[in-house]
Structure 1
Amino acid sequence: MRCKKFSFTLQPLILVLNLIVVNESTAKICKNCGFLLESTHHFCPNCGQEHKERIIYFKEFFIDFLGDYFTFDSKIIRSVRPLLFSPGFLTSEYLDGRRVRYIPPLRMYIFISIFFFLMLSSSKEPIQLDGENLDAAFFDAYFDIWMPRLFFFLLPLFAFFTYFLFRQKGRYYLSSFIFSVHFHAFVLLLFTVYIFISSYLSQAMYGVNQWMLLACGLIVEIYLLVALKRVFDKKWLTTWFRLILLNIFYIFSVAGVFLAIAVLIYKTQY
């Protein structure tokens, strides 16, 4: 028992002796666990923490905070750029097994949806709670609660319609769900940009705002057509015809969901 205790007490002394023997230019200690690092070690072999001998800035602190959840690195550029300008590319890459270089679909959707709903809530004008506007404020507050849930509900619903219309041998429902996640992430990102721009337009430029909204709708349809063609590899005419059916099914479903929410809000209030 004494030998074990004696050997344990020598550990700090051995560590100090190691520091004396090692050249000062190459000696590095992990600030997390105290492990002796080599000059080539950028990460601690013992605990895995990155070794940094410099001041940590706020930007780095923010990235470290979000890194575990959203992988804040070069994956963002490699993911957002094709999401915007290469319809269906990310879905094809994911289904073909090339996944590590991109942000996972659901993680990307959650990240973009957070920005979308933050932008949406900040763009609303405050409502004076008098007798005339009380009902409007009540409905508005409930829609703020239900909108994120609605979008999560629309993901599998849109995937079901896509799977039904573009079913392929060897492709399962999950393939259509991945496509749905990427498509809705694009839609949210596009309308986040639209809300940001329209928030700076004055009332006199109402017509420009309407044209921008119409352009966004047209972009979404063209994007969806190209994405469906790339992922499911149908003929252009077949893809276009099934896109029309997909729009009909989806629009009626969204309208039905909005109506159900409105009825639920009405019953809650009255």
Structure 2
Amino acid sequence: MSHNKIREDKTCLNCRHVVEQKFCPNCGQENSDSRKTFHHLFIHFFEDLTHYENAFWKTIKNLLFKPSTLTKEYLSGKRLSYLAPVRLYIFISFITFFLIAIFPSKVGEGIDKSEKALAKEIAKTKKEAHVESERKYFKLKTMKEIDSIQKYGKENDKLSDFQYWAYEKVVHVTEHNTQREIIEKFIESFFHNIPKILFIIMPFFAFFLWIFHSKKKWYYFDHGIFTLHYFSFLLLIFLILFIVNKIAGLFGSDNPLTYLADIITFVGTLWMCYYFYPAHHRFYGEPRIVSFVKSVTLFIINSFFILFLLTFYVFYIFINLH
């Protein structure tokens, strides 16, 4: 049962009908304050999982082609006209996760079966050569050499406990995987976990928005809703491009659909890069030059932050390869 504070204004924010009690008699929306605290964002998360509306296509259309429209409509009180932001992100994440799990993206997809069979035979007879080649590529010492340095070497050359543990993991990976296998496994794991990566990044993204805007005019909740819609857009674009390329790939590499898929990918990538500026400008209502400067600055800051997180993520994937 909802415990939201009822608005003193008796005009429904969704349909403008007069609300005499708690719920609008015309559309059924609760006449409560639509701007909540940070705590409410988590409560809203669980509430959204238990409802669904018939506004899916309207939501998708606005999300793709009308930057910030969903956020402005939601915060203005029109919450029944579109999918709620948390529900929208979860739905897109689920579909993305499901399709990637069914159709994994691998680097080796372009190699024909005969070449793969030949590679396996070579790997069986020349495993040591592969290992040595990989060691030269990564410029790694053997664990015997490292242990010798740890025991007899100079203090400056010795590794810390964490460095020794990490180095041991890296050596283990390179001994059991070729350079190609490492790349394939990493890319497969990366695409498989994109929804999780974005979900981890979102609260930090909203925090940077909160830093750059008025604390009196905007709550963290507002930035959180903007972030949910923006990341839902990014994930949806990624999903669309993924589906387009998979469909084109079903007909081989030399067909008209491949070129069409390349064009769609190029246009989608451009729109994905540009989208944040109009979304920011329309939502926060600042002058274009101010919005542009903030957009570029936030893009740079978040890019470095994402790069920082991905560095740890890459290391985590690398040391857990089998």
Superposed CA RMSD: 2.8
Alignment of 1:135-214 (within 5 A): 135-140=182-187, 142-143=189-190, 146-167=193-214, 169-201=216-248, 202-204=252-254, 209-214=261-266
- Max radius of gyration: which structure? 1
C-alpha distance in 2, partners of 1:254/1:112?
21
Shift in CA distance, 70/213, structure 1 to aligned 2, threshold 3 Å: farther
Alignment of 1:4-43 (within 5 A): none
For 1:114, the equivalent position in structure 2 comes to: 94
For 2:61, the equivalent position in structure 1 comes to: 81
Aligned match for 1:242, one of 280, 286, 294: 294
Q: By how many angstroms is 1:120 displaced?
A: 3.1
Q: After the TM superposition, which of the residue ranges 78-87 and 200-209 deviates more from structure 2?
A: 200-209
Q: After the TM superposition, which of the residue ranges 117-126 and 172-181 deviates more from structure 2?
A: 117-126
For 2:283, the equivalent position in structure 1 comes to: 231
Shift in CA distance, 73/269, structure 1 to aligned 2, threshold 3 Å: closer
Q: After the TM superposition, which of the residue ranges 225-234 and 202-211 deviates more from structure 2?
A: 202-211
User: Paired residues, what number?
Assistant: 203
The answer to whether the Cα contact below 8 Å between 1:70 and 1:111 also exists between their aligned partners in 2 is no
The answer to whether the Cα contact below 8 Å between 2:107 and 2:184 also exists between their aligned partners in 1 is no
Question: Whose RCO is larger (CA < 8 A, sep 6+)?
Answer: 2
The answer to whether the Cα contact below 8 Å between 1:105 and 1:181 also exists between their aligned partners in 2 is yes
Where structure 1 has 5 or more consecutive residues not aligned to the other structure, the ranges are 1-67
Report the TM-score, using the length of structure 1 for normalisation: 0.65
C-alpha distance in 2, partners of 1:139/1:191?
18
For 2:320, the equivalent position in structure 1 comes to: 268
Q: Secondary structure at the match of 1:84?
A: helix
Q: By how many angstroms is 1:98 displaced?
A: 1.9
Where structure 2 has 5 or more consecutive residues not aligned to the other structure, the ranges are 1-47, 109-115, 124-177
